Amino acid sequence: MRKITLLSAVMLITACLWSSFTDASRQRRFGYLNTGPPISLGLLYFVPISLAVPSISHMFGRSLSLQELIDEDDEMAEALYWDPAYEVTLRKLSVYFAHLELFSMGCQERLICELAAEPETFSPIPEIFLKELRPLHGPVTRSPDSLMWRYMVAMREGFTAPIEACGRSYPKCPLPAKKILNMPVLKVWQFLASKFNVRLM
């Protein structure tokens, strides 16, 4: 009985080895590839913010200044208090707003509010502006005279209210984000980001 069992085991092992050998030779002969799950390869393209922001500036052109449409009594951002801990952040935001030719406080606040209210609509612009408004460098001076605080309040307003409320909260700015930003160009950026993994840096 033991001899028969041992013989059966040897025959079974021989059959398995022969099957593996013939499968391997068949794969070599016909050029079969790995039958495991497919591997996806992708590339991530980084685009400088300094290129992206000017490209989506408003469509009014140089002949009609955006400032001519804004309430003359509106404050200028430079006149407010800049928290020393957030000076680098505020300088970055100042450059972004300068690219958009947006210098009045009311329009800057309304833009931030609307970007926070509908980030998907204006992507990737909210990622550029709103990431700078995180209080990572300590407490912010809670005052209407503090530029950083005003920006943060505008962002919170957008997070908690519909986009239409931003126009009511900042009535000195007559232009919504869709008029400040060049929406057709923004759609192109969104297409590139979805198809080619384009990211801003």
Would 154 be classed as within a structural domain? yes
Would 57 be classed as within a structural domain? yes
**CA distance to 113, 116, 145, 153, 172, per residue, from 81 (Å):** 20, 23, 6, 15, 20
Would 2 be classed as within a structural domain? no
- Quote the pTM value: 0.68
Q: Are 71 and 106 in contact (CB under 8 A)?
A: yes
Would 184 be classed as within a structural domain? yes
Task: Give the pLDDT confidence of 73-126 residue by residue, as tens digits.
Answer: 778 888 899 999 999 999 999 999 988 888 899 999 999 999 999 999 998 899
What pLDDT score does 131 carry?
Answer: 92
Would 34 be classed as within a structural domain? no
The count of structural domains within the chain is 1
10-residue averages of pLDDT along the chain (201 residues): 48 51 47 51 46 57 49 80 94 92 92 96 91 92 95 96 95 90 86 71 54
Q: Are 140 and 156 in contact (CB under 8 A)?
A: no
Would 107 be classed as within a structural domain? yes
Positive or negative torsion for Cα 161, 143, 172, 131: negative
| Contacts of 157 by beta carbon, 8 Å cutoff, 6+ apart | 113, 116, 165, 166, 169
Give the span between the Cα atoms of 175 and 161, in whole angstroms: 18
What is the domain range of residue 193? 45-200
What pLDDT score does 54 carry?
Answer: 57
